[in-house]
Structure 1
Amino acid sequence: MQLNPYLFFNGQCEAAFKFYEQCLGGKIVSLMTYGESPMAEQTPPEQLNKIMHVLLCVGDQELMGSDAPPEMFEQPKGFYVSLQFNDPVEAERIFKTLAENGTVRMPLQQTFWADRFGMLVDQFGTPWMINCGQAS
């Protein structure tokens, strides 16, 4: 079994995933718009260029997403996408990049369980937790 986050956006999916691709050092390996899908004829014209499905691979991890139909979109709540790091410098770089034009909920800092831990909501509304474990 593989467990993967699937993120929904309100029309910003392509911009978000291009940002995540750059920030996380991954690669978008699949991207399909509603207009490119077999559902194109049933799709409202304003939704044709929106993303029906995107897959970003970062190492052996996958992050997926799409633009929700406007009547079905809900702001993310009740979860965070958690990123785990061994290198505090890399954790700081990713935190700083994801926080650009977003909202820091907890600054990246040392805690009793981690060398670095912080929480933020990025400019696209996705909540992230960054954790860098303590050196043994």
Structure 2
Amino acid sequence: MQVNPYIFFNGNCEEALSFYQKVLGALIEAKMPFGDGPADMPVAADWKDKIMHAHVTIDGEVLMASDGMPGDYQQPQGFRIALQVEDPAEAERRFKALSEGGSVQMPFGVTFFSNGFGMCVDKFGIPWMVNSPKDLM
């Protein structure tokens, strides 16, 4: 069994995936627009190029995504996507890249449990935590 986050975007999934490709090295493994669905599937003309399903990997971990249907989209809440990055400088670089154009809830810095930790919401509304863990064992 595998458990993977599946995140929805407000019509900008394609742009978000390109952003994650640039700042996180995400590999877009599969991407299907709504227009490639069955011929009898009702899709608005301006929605045919929006993403119905995408499968990406970030350092081997799977993240799935889609554009939420018009009128159904809700701002994500109650979770964060967590990145564990061994090198504190690399963790801070990724945090700064993810938070650019978004908002920072907790600036990146050393904590009692981490060599570097921060929380942000990216410019697409997706909440993230970036952590460079201490060796606590």
Name the TM-score, length of structure 1 as normaliser.
0.94
CA offsets, 1:54-111, max 9 Å, x none?
A: 1111232111100011121110011100111111011011001001101011000111
| Structure 2 match to 1:19 | 19
Distance in 2 of aligned mates of 1:38 and 1:64: 21
Give the residue type in structure 1 aligned to 2:26: G
How far is the alpha carbon of 1:49 from its aligned partner?
Answer: 1.1
Are 1:36 and 2:36 matched, yes or no?
yes
After superposition, where does 1:1-136 map in structure 2 within 5 Å?
1-38=1-38, 41-135=41-135
Instruction: Kindly tell me the number of residue pairs found equivalent between the two proteins.
Output: 136
Distance in 2 of aligned mates of 1:15 and 1:84: 24
Distance 1:39 1:60, change over 3 A: farther
Larger helix proportion, structure 1 or 2? 1
Give the residue type in structure 2 aligned to 1:60: G
Distance 1:114 1:66, change over 3 A: same
Distance in 2 of aligned mates of 1:32 and 1:26: 17
2:4 aligns to what SS in structure 1? Answer: coil
1:17 aligns to what SS in structure 2? Answer: helix
Runs of 4+ off more than 4 Å = none
Distance 1:113 1:89, change over 3 A: same
Name which of structure 1's ranges 11-20 and 57-66 shifts more when overlaid on structure 2: 57-66
Give the residue type in structure 2 aligned to 1:89: A
Name the TM-score, length of structure 2 as normaliser.
0.94
Q: RMSD in angstroms over aligned alpha carbons?
A: 1.3
CA contact (8 A) 1:5 1:64 kept: yes
CA contact (8 A) 1:16 1:124 kept: yes
Using the aligned pairs only, state the percent identity.
Answer: 46
CA contact (8 A) 1:52 1:67 kept: yes
